[in-house]
Structure 1
Amino acid sequence: MTAAYPALRLRRTRTSAWSRALHRENQLSPDQLIWPLFVTEGRGVEEPVASLPGVSRWSVDGIVARAKEAVDLGIPCLALFPNTPVDRRSDDGREALNPENLMCRAIRAIRDACGSDIGVLTDVALDPYTTHGQDGLLDDSGYVLNDASVEALIGQSLNQAAAGADIIAPSDMMDGRVGAIRAALEQAGHTNIQIMAYAAKYASAFYGPFRDAVGSRGLLKGDKKTYQMDPANAEEALREVALDLAEGADSVMVKPGLPYLDIVRRVKERFEVPVFAYQVSGEYAMIEAAVAADAGEREGLVMETLMAFRRAGCSGVLTYHAPFAARLLNG
């Protein structure tokens, strides 16, 4: 029996490599990667992070070398996180306001070495600077104060902007901090500095290795559930994003990444703005554990997960696998 119409065969376009490339709906490029790096004190220092195989803390000179590597690989932006010495941490996180702190020295060193060839994204939260490991200031009961914390975050943002940061990324999840930081940046003449808001940051079980890397895991008192989001909530994420955009965010972030691809998709479809995801330390560690157990190939696991972010609607991804992925993409 002859069909009245040509048979539809979706496999036709999959027959050859050139055809698969021609019909590919989403593309990956080093341009879409942000490389998170951890800064520590000293010179010539590389401290491997045990819970993040292949990731190290670097002294400022090592961070500069990584910045030059990123430029060569076509990675457009670095995200910096400091491992502040214990003796410089305090209940009020005052080291965040020090123009000579680790973050500011690393920013200036990258700027001196690389000029405008690479962007520098800086984390704004107090947890790397506090003795209690919380992202803000505490009252006598241990509750994280919102408005007092926002004032401290404004000072931290201005400090990083003065050092040469390109993107201020508040990760603290205090209410109203984006608008307050935007107003302070404008008043100080930093009109071209971007804000990438951690708009939907969940109280996740995937952050453990990161806290090792910045030295806050052993210090953390309590949890962060009074300000980070409940993993059960999606509508609330859209409200958070709407507020941050209304307050002046240039882009928004969803964190963690893979467990929250539904949030990425909903944010992109609702707001049609640049959306980024952070493939966090626990996600990275799971991939590396799978590779170590011979349960999967690193190349396939990394590239498939990065493509998942793009397919969901991400403009870019913060990932510790950035240099590995960039090398693969560069051929």
Structure 2
Amino acid sequence: MSFSNLVSDIAFRDSNADERGSTISHAQSRAARSYASTTATSVSISGDISSQLHAGYSHPLTRSWQAERQLTKEMLIFPLFITDNPDEQTPIPSLPNQYRFGINRLVPFLSPLIRKGLRSVILFGVPLHPSAKDALGTAADDPAGPVISAIRLLRARFPNLYINTDVCLCEYTSHGHCGILREDGSLDNAQSVDRISDVALAYAVAGAHCVAPSDMNDGRVRAIKLKLIEAGLAHRVLLMSYSAKFSGCLYGPFRDAAGSCPSFGDRKCYQLPPGGRGLARRAIQRDMNEGADIIMVKPASQYLDIIRDAKDLAQDMPVAAYQVSGEFAMIHAGAKAGVFDLKAMAFESTEGILRAGAGIVVSYFTPEFLDWL
């Protein structure tokens, strides 16, 4: 079933079809654009897609990411949770010192961090309105939604801040999974890739410097890269792929923050199984061949061997690692219990990630590191 037919089918079955008519129309239009883009790309681009290199050094910060070095402020990316309530600033209980922000709260929060040397953030959308989630994640690329609104605001207010955007559907789907589902509840890879690549393109058009697909659907890196090329953006919009993302229990605090827990089942059929080193190596090689500019491993500290593998496989590419919410929360809990010193353990954990081969770290410790470094 095509994406447009899927949209029509869901519209027919929806008892509130009149209310959601504009949403369905928007999704149908998007599907048509997606098909046209894919068709045009197939005749306008030939050769090896991994030959597209300019985005990797089009920005001063990404040029610095090409070098190997010790822990510096430039290598840190700070995760931000952006809600659709403009005035919200709510603490996240399971993530110490972290908040959900509305766009009206972003500038006052970020201004002192930028003065201390913050160079880069990654945005996660957290829609809270009851009507914001549906089976297709149609709100993910809403022009008035939290991520696109935040991109535009941050580009205008902080022109030197490098803006990464996580690209996934789990925060926007009513079922909480990272793509579009078949009727039997399994993931429809083709429909998911089509949808996710459209979301990535929307973020790029809005002004994101980097799009980072975290969904783990097969083929989404190539689909995104082709759409960036077709839109004339591949030379300056970086593609950082969550290539080796393992399933497990370390994402709990993040799911609390983002409201992205699956309503049924789990993500073991599309996130990598713990111990799946061979699968991780294959996924890394796949994403390199499909045009990724940066390879990411997630979680970080528990998969230092995979970070090392990523660096061996992608010797000429930057490798990123995500020090995930569970790792961060455990270090804080240990420090609070007096087991160890927070600063010492944060440094030890992060420097271990760097020694394994990463040159970029997505970390909730970023505000503390801005003071410590």
Question: 8 Å contact 2:211–2:238 — kept in the other structure?
Answer: yes
* 1:12-64 C-alpha deviation (Å, 9 max, x unpaired): xxxxxxxxxxxxx9621111100001111334421011111111111112223
What TM-score, normalized by structure 1, do the two folds share?
0.89
1:312 aligns with 2:312: no
1:169 aligns with 2:185: no
Question: 8 Å contact 1:67–1:78 — kept in the other structure?
Answer: no
* 1:103-155 C-alpha deviation (Å, 9 max, x unpaired): 0001111001011x011110111001001100000111100110000010111
Q: Which moved more, 1:57-66 or 1:189-198?
A: 57-66
Change in Cα spacing, 1:43 to 1:126, as seen in structure 2 (3 Å) is: closer
After TM superposition, the structure 1 = structure 2 runs for residues 5-154 of structure 1, keeping only pairs within 5 Å, are 27-85=70-128, 86-115=130-159, 117-154=160-197
Opposite residue 201 of structure 2, the aligned amino acid is L
Cross-structure match for 1:9 = none
Q: What secondary structure sits across from 2:174 in the alignment?
A: coil
Q: What secondary structure sits across from 2:85 in the alignment?
A: coil
Which of 233, 237, 256 aligns to 1:212? It is 256
Deviation at 1:87, TM superposition (A): 2.0
Q: What secondary structure sits across from 1:81 in the alignment?
A: strand
Deviation at 1:74, TM superposition (A): 1.9
Change in Cα spacing, 1:154 to 1:26, as seen in structure 2 (3 Å) is: closer
Deviation at 1:277, TM superposition (A): 0.4
Unaligned segments of structure 1, at least 5 residues: 1-24
Q: Which moved more, 1:204-213 or 1:72-81?
A: 72-81
Cross-structure match for 1:16 = none
1:287 aligns with 2:310: no
* 1:173-222 C-alpha deviation (Å, 9 max, x unpaired): 000100010000110111210000000001121000000001122x5321
Divergent runs of 4+, >6 A: none
CA–CA separation in structure 2 for the residues paired with 1:97 and 1:60: 16
CA–CA separation in structure 2 for the residues paired with 1:174 and 1:69: 37
Which of 300, 314, 326 aligns to 2:344? It is 300
Cross-structure match for 2:6 = none
CA–CA separation in structure 2 for the residues paired with 1:143 and 1:161: 29
Opposite residue 251 of structure 1, the aligned amino acid is I
CA–CA separation in structure 2 for the residues paired with 1:51 and 1:182: 35
What TM-score, normalized by structure 2, do the two folds share?
0.79
Cross-structure match for 2:36 = none
1:250 aligns with 2:293: yes
CA–CA separation in structure 2 for the residues paired with 1:111 and 1:311: 33
After TM superposition, the structure 1 = structure 2 runs for residues 201-240 of structure 1, keeping only pairs within 5 Å, are 201-217=245-261, 219-240=262-283
CA–CA separation in structure 1 for the residues paired with 2:294 and 2:118: 18
Deviation at 1:79, TM superposition (A): 0.5
Question: 8 Å contact 1:26–1:307 — kept in the other structure?
Answer: no
Question: 8 Å contact 2:285–2:313 — kept in the other structure?
Answer: no
Opposite residue 300 of structure 1, the aligned amino acid is A
Looking at CA atoms only, which structure, 1 or 2, has the larger radius of gyration?
1
CA–CA separation in structure 1 for the residues paired with 2:105 and 2:359: 28
Opposite residue 189 of structure 2, the aligned amino acid is N
CA–CA separation in structure 2 for the residues paired with 1:303 and 1:262: 19
Opposite residue 102 of structure 1, the aligned amino acid is P
CA–CA separation in structure 2 for the residues paired with 1:225 and 1:300: 34
Cross-structure match for 2:310 = 267
- Percent identity for Structure 1 against Structure 2: 38
Give me the CA root mean square deviation. 1.3
Question: 8 Å contact 1:29–1:326 — kept in the other structure?
Answer: no
Opposite residue 274 of structure 1, the aligned amino acid is P
Q: What secondary structure sits across from 2:251 in the alignment?
A: helix
Question: 8 Å contact 2:137–2:169 — kept in the other structure?
Answer: yes
CA–CA separation in structure 2 for the residues paired with 1:186 and 1:26: 31
Unaligned segments of structure 2, at least 5 residues: 1-67
Cross-structure match for 2:51 = none
1:188 aligns with 2:188: no
Q: Which moved more, 1:75-84 or 1:130-139?
A: 75-84
